[in-house]
Amino acid sequence: MPTTVGHKIDVTSPLIHYIGSWVRGGSKKDPAGEFADPDQPRYDEETFVFCDPGSQCTASFDFRGTEVHFVGAYRSNRGPVSFTLDGQDFGPYTVSTNPQQFQVEYFNGTGLLEDGIHTVSAVNAISNNLTYDLDYITWTSTVNSTVDTRFQDDCAAFSYQPAHAWSVDLGNMTGFDDGTGHVGSMGSSATLKFSGDRVAVYGAIGAQGAPFTAQLDGGSSTAYTQRQSISDTPSEDYLPSQLIYYADGLSDGNHTLVLSSASNSSGLVFTIDYALVDGTVNQPPETTGTNATTSVPAPISVPRGPNTALGVVSAIAGFLLVVVVVLIVYIVRLRRIVADLRFGYLGATPVPREPEGSWAGGNSSSFAPTVHHFVNSTSHGPENTSIPRNAKATKHRAGPRTLPSNETPTTTASSETEAASVVFPASHISPFRISRSAEHTSLRNTSLGPLPPPYMPVASPIGQ
C-alpha cells in the first residue's frame, strides 16, 4: 500500500551539490575560530555550513516527492537568501534576526509540488559582511511499502569491476555495517541489481572520499562525491554508514544501478557498505565473498564503531563458557573419585539403588535405597563358625544377617542384571572384597587396606 514517508539528510550528505566557497562551521576557516562558536551545539547534530562572506554560494538538491524544507539559522550576520524550485524563484528572504534562532525553515515547499522529480536550490546575494548557512534538508515522498531488505556489500546482488580495483581490506576504517565493506580505487565500479520502487546505498564519507557517478537503468549519469569535510582532525575526518545515493518512485520490476568512481587520484577511495531495497519484492540474497585482495589507500581515521566492541565481548564470553564447562566436568569426576576412595570401593561396580520391594517376597510400590553392610571381626551378630567360600549370598532388607550353620545361603535377584547384597562372616571377610557384575557375584583378593568399621553403609557414588 502506498505510504508517504519523510526523509532527512545532513549538510555533509553527498546528495547536496555545493557551488562556491562554502565553509564548515567550527572549522579552521570559520571566522569565529576553530570550535569557537558557542552556538554550534544549537545546530542539528552540531553541524552546519555557511557561505564565505564576500562570495556567492549555491546549494542544490534533486528529489522525488511532494514537499521540501531547507533549514538553517537566523543570526545577526546573516544576509538575504533566495530559492528556486523547478525554475520558479522565491524570495529573497531575510534570515538576519536578533535574538538568534536555530533550526528554522528558510524555505517550505509544502503544497507546491506534484509527486515527481524536482530540483530546489538556494543562493545568496554577494556581501562583504553577511552570509547564510544551512543546517539540514527534509523532504517527503511516496513508497509502496515501509519494509526494507538489506543487501550487504558481499551479497550476490552486488558485482564489482574490475576485480583488481577493489579490496575488502578496510584498513583502519571502522563502523561499517556487519563489519564488511568494499573499497574501490581509480577506475572501479559497482553494479547493484534489485527489484521494486526504491533503492538507498550507503558508504563512507570524509577527506579521502572519491567523487563518483550513478547511472540507473541505463539513463543519464549523475555526479556525487564522498569527499566531505567532517573535521580538521585527521582521525575524525570520516563518517561511516552514510547515505550516498537514493531513488524512489521507480516502476515495478527489475532495475540495475551502476556506481562508478570518478577519482583521478590514487589517494581517494570509493566505498560501498550496504543497500536498502523494497522488502516486499526482494529476498536477502546469500553472501558470495570476494577474491579481490588488492590493497588500496583507506582514510586514516580511526573512529570506534560498535562492531569492534561486540567482537571482543563475544570472544570473551565464549572463552568463559568453555572454562565453566571444563570446571563442571572436572568437579563431577573429582567427586566420584573421592566417593570411591572414601568407601574403599575404588574399581568396583557402584552399588545401585534398589526398590524397597525388590527382595524375595516383597510387594511394595514405593522405592527406597537398600543399605548394605560389611561385617568384620567385631560384628555384634552371632558368630558363624564356618561357611563355604563358594556359598551363595542372600538379600536382606536392613541390618546384617549371619547364617545359621545348618542353613544354605541363597541368592535372590529381581532381574538378570541386578546385583546381590552379600553378608559374610567375620572369619571370611578380611582378605576379600565384593566383586559385583551383571552376571555373577564372586570374591576377589584385594590389597586396598583395612575394611571400614562395622555396619558402615556402602552408599552409591555421587551422581550415580
DSSP per position, 417-448: TPPPP----HHHHTTEEEEE-SS-EEEEE--S
Going across the sheet that includes 81-85, the strands are 16-19, 58-65, 116-124, 81-85, 88-93
What does the alpha-carbon distance between residue 396 and residue 394 come to, in Å, rounded to a whole number?
A: 7
Domain ranges for the chain = 1-143, 144-304, 305-342, 349-459
CA dist 414 to 150, 260, 371, Å? 66, 84, 17
pLDDT value, residue 402: 43
∠ at Cα 332 (330, 338), nearest 5°? 100
pLDDT value, residue 390: 44
CA nearest 40: which of 18, 54, 25? 25
Q: How many CA atoms within 13 Å lie on the side-chain side of 278?
A: 24
pLDDT value, residue 422: 43
Domain 1-143 classification at class level: mainly beta
* Burial of 171: CB neighbours in 10 Å, binned 0-12, 13-18, 19+: middle
Place of cell 582532525: 233
Quick check: do 1-143 and 144-304 share a fold?
Answer: yes
Q: Answer yes or no: is pLDDT of 440 > 50.
A: no
Q: Higher-confidence residue: 121 or 383?
A: 121
The single-letter code of the amino acid at 342 is: R
Pairing of strands 199-206, 22-24: unpaired
Q: Residue 133: CB partners within 8 Å, gap ≥ 6?
A: 25, 48, 49, 50, 51, 72, 73, 75, 78
How many residues are present in the chain? 464
pLDDT, tens only, 304-334: 344 545 666 677 888 888 888 888 888 887 8
Query: How many helices, marked H, and strands, marked E, lie in the chain?
Result: 2, 26
Q: Answer yes or no: is pLDDT of 112 > 70.
A: no
pLDDT value, residue 277: 96
What does the alpha-carbon distance between residue 70 and residue 52 come to, in Å, rounded to a whole number?
A: 19
The partner residues of 143 in beta bridges, in order of sequence, read 3
Q: Which of 95-99, 153-157, 286-290, 389-393 has the lowest mean pLDDT?
A: 389-393
Q: Which of 6-20, 65-79, 101-115, 129-143 has the lowest mean pLDDT?
A: 101-115
pLDDT value, residue 26: 85
pLDDT value, residue 309: 52
How far does Cα 363 stand from its chain's mean position? 60
pLDDT, tens only, 59-94: 999 999 999 999 999 998 899 999 999 999 999 998
Q: What secondary structure letter does DSSP report for 324?
A: H
Q: Residue 362: CB partners within 8 Å, gap ≥ 6?
A: 356
* Burial of 115: CB neighbours in 10 Å, binned 0-12, 13-18, 19+: middle
Cβ density class 348-381: b for 16+ within 10 Å, e for less = bebbeebbeebbeeeeeeeeeebebbbbbeebee
pTM, entire model:
0.62
| Contact status, residue 115 vs residue 141, Cβ threshold 8 Å | yes
Q: Answer yes or no: is pLDDT of 406 > 90.
A: no
Q: Answer yes or no: is pLDDT of 416 > 80.
A: no
Q: Answer yes or no: is pLDDT of 209 > 70.
A: yes
Q: What is the mean pLDDT of the chain?
A: 76
pLDDT, tens only, 333-352: 787 776 666 655 444 445 45
> In CATH, which of 3.40.50.150, 2.60.120.260, 2.60.120.10, 3.30.2350.10 is domain 144-304?
2.60.120.260
